[in-house]
Structure 1
Amino acid sequence: MAVDWVGFGYAALVSAGGIIGYVKAGSIISLVAGLLFGLSAAGGAYLTSQNPKNVWISLGTSGTLAVVMGLRFLSSWKFIPAGLMTLASGLMLARIIAGMLRRQHRS
């Protein structure tokens, strides 16, 4: 079984974003949200590593972050952190959907 290194890297990015938000701005909400979503992304990456068809937690996590951070980016136009997380989450979402479509065509 292949380890989902991209998924684990995404989880680390999300967690690091929450920690940096707390350190720079003292935002407890950023810390909690970053760690919870990071843990969810890591759990999704682990499940995907065990079974490549089990992408639902990763899909939900990246989709939720893409929408939430996308709305934040549109209201603030600040690339860091909202734009970066929107971009990373959108790319992760596209990767997951592309993988689902590839598996569907092989079946």
Structure 2
Amino acid sequence: MTDYPGYIYATTIALGGVFGYVKAGSIPSLFFGLTFGGLAAYAANRTSVNPKNAILAFVVSSVLFIVMGVRFYKSGKFMPAGFVSTLR
């Protein structure tokens, strides 16, 4: 069974990194967005093959939840940190 929510999550993360680069010229946003988006896509692939392979998806989404949650808490701005921390 294909993990469509996982692929949508991965695409959202990757596009967020690209958008951060285009809007603000942020190379770290591009790098981390593509890195975590790629990891999330790989995790979605592994989960699609065997639903018991969800540990990578859990780790990637947990790291993003913590990092972006802290950024949201410090900045008080919902976009993009608050939005990303509420995904998945």
Query: What's the TM-score once normalised by structure 2's chain length?
Result: 0.99
For the residues of structure 2 that align with 1:20 and 1:80, how far apart are their CA atoms? Answer: 12
Map of 1:101 onto structure 2: none
Map of 1:27 onto structure 2: 26
Q: State the 4+ residue runs in structure 1 displaced beyond 3 angstroms.
A: none
Which AA in structure 2 matches 1:35?
L
Map of 1:83 onto structure 2: 82
Map of 1:53 onto structure 2: 52
Map of 1:74 onto structure 2: 73
1:7-28 deviations in whole A, cap 9, x for unaligned? 0000000001000000000000
For the residues of structure 1 that align with 2:24 and 2:77, how far apart are their CA atoms? Answer: 15
Q: How large is the Cα RMSD of the aligned pairs?
A: 0.4
- Max radius of gyration: which structure? 1
For the residues of structure 2 that align with 1:54 and 1:86, how far apart are their CA atoms? Answer: 22
Q: Cα distance, 1:53 vs. partner?
A: 0.3
Where do 5+ consecutive residues of structure 2 fail to align?
Answer: none
Map of 1:102 onto structure 2: none
Q: Which has the higher contact order (CA 8 A, sep 6+)?
A: 2
When the two structures are aligned, how many residues end up with a matched partner? Answer: 88
For the residues of structure 1 that align with 2:49 and 2:29, how far apart are their CA atoms? Answer: 30
Q: Cα distance, 1:49 vs. partner?
A: 0.2
Which AA in structure 1 matches 2:67?
V
Q: Cα distance, 1:84 vs. partner?
A: 0.4
For the residues of structure 1 that align with 2:65 and 2:17, how far apart are their CA atoms? Answer: 15
